Amino acid sequence: MRSNWLTGLLILSLAVNAAVIGTLGYHYLTNAAQRRPAPCLSSGDGHLYQSLGLTGRQLERMEPLAHVFHGRMDEMKASIEQKKEILIDLLQRGGASDRIDGLRAEMTFIQDAIQKEVIAHIADIQQILDSKQQERFFHLMRQSMNCTGTSLSPSSGGSR
């Protein structure tokens, strides 16, 4: 009798533990999906264009802008990455502080140029969109910028 009672208690304990673990897992997975950053604005795969409901004519105007913009962004990002590597090497070797400061200034200049390009690109896009599409576009942009770790670059998990 005592053996049956212990077996029943063990089964009940296992069932409660499985339910708790299952519930925690479920909540972790659903919250992880909510924590994912919003898709980048110019992902190149059409999601932005689809969510804005662009016409064929708007797409024809938008695609060359996006192509040129992403080409320039790729060049500037490559330059930044190269300078980051040089900076790390200088820091590792105990490089001269004036060389490090010069490199930092170059990186700052490129980052400023990236920001200017992004702002100009947004202004170009705005010219193509009607008022409802602009409203949706800026809503998506706010949503994207409010997500932690979200970047406008394609290489960072999404792209704009």
Check which CATH number belongs to the domain holding 59 and give it.
Answer: 1.20.120.1490
pTM above 0.75, yes or no: no
Kindly state whether residues 17 and 55 are assigned to the same domain: no
Residue 111: per-residue pLDDT: 94
pLDDT digits (tens, 9 = 90+) for 76-88: 999 999 999 999 9
152 falls within a domain: no
Kindly state whether residues 2 and 25 are assigned to the same domain: yes
Q: Where is 113: in which H helix or E strand? A: helix 97-128
Kindly state whether residues 79 and 133 are assigned to the same domain: yes
User: How many independent structural domains does the chain possess?
Assistant: 2
Kindly state whether residues 58 and 31 are assigned to the same domain: no
Kindly state whether residues 31 and 84 are assigned to the same domain: no
Residue 105: per-residue pLDDT: 94
114 falls within a domain: yes
Residue 147: per-residue pLDDT: 64
Residue 48: per-residue pLDDT: 73
Kindly state whether residues 67 and 130 are assigned to the same domain: yes
- Packing angle of the helix pair 56-93, 97-128 (nearest 10 deg): 170
Kindly state whether residues 23 and 56 are assigned to the same domain: no
Closest Cα partner for 121 from 70, 52, 50? Answer: 70
Domain that holds residue 4: 1-36
Kindly state whether residues 27 and 105 are assigned to the same domain: no
158 falls within a domain: no
CA angle 14, 19, 24 (to 5 degrees): 125
Kindly state whether residues 117 and 81 are assigned to the same domain: yes
Kindly state whether residues 31 and 54 are assigned to the same domain: no
pLDDT digits (tens, 9 = 90+) for 6-20: 787 778 777 777 777
Alpha-carbon distances, residue 126 vs 65, 89, 91, 121, 134 (angstroms): 12, 42, 42, 9, 6
Please give the structure tokens belonging to residue 155: 């290489």
154 falls within a domain: no
Mean pLDDT by 10 residues, the chain (160 residues): 75 77 75 53 55 88 91 94 92 88 93 94 92 91 71 42
Kindly state whether residues 8 and 54 are assigned to the same domain: no
